[in-house]
Amino acid sequence: MDNVPNIDDVVQPTHDEHSRQRFVSVLRKHVLTEFAADVRTVYDKRAAPRFTRKHGRAPKTGLEIRKEMKDEPAFQEWIALMQQAQYMTWWSVQPAIERRIPELVQVARAAAAANPTGGSLRLDPSVEIPKTVTELDVHLMPGCFHTEHVTDDVAQGALYHFGTQVFSGGLSHRLRGGWGATTAQFLKIRYPHFRPAKYLDLGCTVGREMFSIMDAFPAAETFAVDVAAPALRYAHARAQALGKTVHFSQQNAERLDFPDNSFDLVTTSFFYHEISVQSGRKIAKEAFRVLKPGGLMINQEMMPVAAAKDPYYDFTADTWNEFYNNEPFVGAFRRQNLRKVFTDAGFKAANYLEIKLPNYGTWPDAVFAACVRGEAVPPEVENGQAWFSFGAWK
């Protein structure tokens, strides 16, 4: 296989830029833990008793808690810091990317021309990018996924790739394992005879979780779809350097051009909360159409459905993302009946699947396997970070 330069190596932060990135990772972790704990104290000591005095009962939903908390200075300070840390995440990687845009484009072009993996990149400028991508900078990422600054641009792919590493810095569940590896292990343990021959990832961006799934099923012929050309170019160049054969195409996942009954496995990750409920329903239908009988659609989300934990959890998860992080669909996504989304799409109710899994790699393999089999989950796992997955077998 011809060697092509790894596009990830083109972006080299300076010493000061690297320090700034580390600082932002630590700041984010601090705000997510220490500051969030202060907000919880204010809720327990002041806002919750005040609500109970007014209504004669405790708050039942995250929305009720939001109304009670929105004027609390501790909450306002926490949101301001969360938002600032989120902006700083992207700003901390932008300069190193921007000064190398010509080289990034050149490496992506060379990788596409050499194409040593035999994969492909099919771009279609006539694809209308959904308003949910064009009308706001999702999770405050400047330029979102799709903006093109120069011809054949890849910068937004690079921004997502490097920015999310700063975002996750210090959060071990994102670095070890991740959803892709966790799901692949889940499938291998729970469904040992499942061997997908044809695999499709929707909303792939730069392919992070998809590449981990491919590691577990190396024989699967793999296809990946996104609406954002810069992300697809970057992903295709990465695939060349990583030796992964993937057929990338620019398509709206609501209207795929693949024939019926094509795939054994369809995945999405960090995707459903960023699209409207209506779009999510269309995509579940489209997945049903392109899946072969006996195939599986499995999706990942960061947060379980509403009320799966408690109203306070819903308050923090939804309020931050919906109102301050340009992810306006999070609450609606979490409050919908996901089983119904899949049965309306054509899947049988008995084939619907919903599971919370600890991160593969964080816990000993025996603990992970016990969780996959549905045996007793140790409280430290139950209370720790877990991946929420949902989907259905056709």
Ligand X SMILES: C[S@@+](CC[C@H](N)C(=O)[O-])C[C@H]1O[C@@H](n2cnc3c(N)ncnc32)[C@H](O)[C@@H]1O
**Contact (CB, 8 A) for 179 and 245:** no
Strand partners, 300: 389
Q: Is 227 in the site for ligand X (CB under 6 A)?
A: yes
Contacts of 179 (CB under 8 A, 6+ apart): 209, 212, 269, 270, 300, 387, 389
**Contact (CB, 8 A) for 194 and 218:** no
Q: How far is the CB of 32 from ligand X (least distance, A)?
A: 19
The 323-342 site mask, x for binding ligand X (CB under 6 A), equals: --------------------
Q: Give the residue with the Cβ less far from ligand X, 64 or 152.
A: 152
Q: How far is the CB of 139 from ligand X (least distance, A)?
A: 8
Exactly one of 68, 226, 286, 322 binds ligand X (CB under 6 A); which one? 226
Strand partners, 237: none
Exactly one of 239, 275, 370, 372 binds ligand X (CB under 6 A); which one? 275
Q: Is 274 in the site for ligand X (CB under 6 A)?
A: yes
Q: Give the residue with the Cβ less far from ligand X, 228 or 237.
A: 228
Q: Give the residue with the Cβ less far from ligand X, 264 or 274.
A: 274
- Give the pairing of strands 198-202 and 221-226: parallel
Q: How far is the CB of 160 from ligand X (least distance, A)?
A: 7
Say how many CA atoms lie within 13 Å of 192 toward its Cβ.
3
Q: Which stretch binds ligand X (CB under 6 A): 252-260, 313-321, 338-346, 380-388?
A: 252-260
Site for ligand X in 120-139 (CB under 6 A): 130, 133
Q: Is 154 in the site for ligand X (CB under 6 A)?
A: no
Nearest residue to ligand X on Cβ basis: 203
SS3 114: helix
Q: Is 250 in the site for ligand X (CB under 6 A)?
A: no
CA 202/CA 224 separation, integer angstroms: 6
Q: How far is the CB of 311 from ligand X (least distance, A)?
A: 26
Q: Is 301 in the site for ligand X (CB under 6 A)?
A: no
Q: Is 230 in the site for ligand X (CB under 6 A)?
A: no
Sheet with 386-393: list strands edge to edge. Answer: 120-122, 246-250, 221-226, 198-202, 263-268, 291-301, 386-393, 352-358
Site for ligand X in 199-218 (CB under 6 A): 202-205, 208-209
Q: At what angle do helices 48-55 and 62-69 cross, to 10 degrees?
A: 110
**If residue 296 lies in a helix (H) or strand (E), which one and from where to where?**
strand 291-301
- H and E: helices and strands count for the chain: 18, 8
Q: How far is the CB of 132 from ligand X (least distance, A)?
A: 6
Tokens for 269, please give them.
């990750």
Q: Is 32 in the site for ligand X (CB under 6 A)?
A: no
The 162-201 site mask, x for binding ligand X (CB under 6 A), equals: ----------------------------------------
Q: Is 145 in the site for ligand X (CB under 6 A)?
A: yes
Tokens for 143, please give them.
């330029």
Q: At what angle do helices 229-242 and 101-114 cross, to 10 degrees?
A: 60
Q: Which stretch binds ligand X (CB under 6 A): 20-28, 33-41, 57-65, 221-229?
A: 221-229
Q: Is 270 in the site for ligand X (CB under 6 A)?
A: yes
DSSP 8-state symbol, 360: B
Q: Is 271 in the site for ligand X (CB under 6 A)?
A: yes
Positions in the binding site for ligand X (CB under 6 A): 130, 133, 145, 202-205, 208-209, 225-228, 231, 252-254, 269-271, 274-275, 279
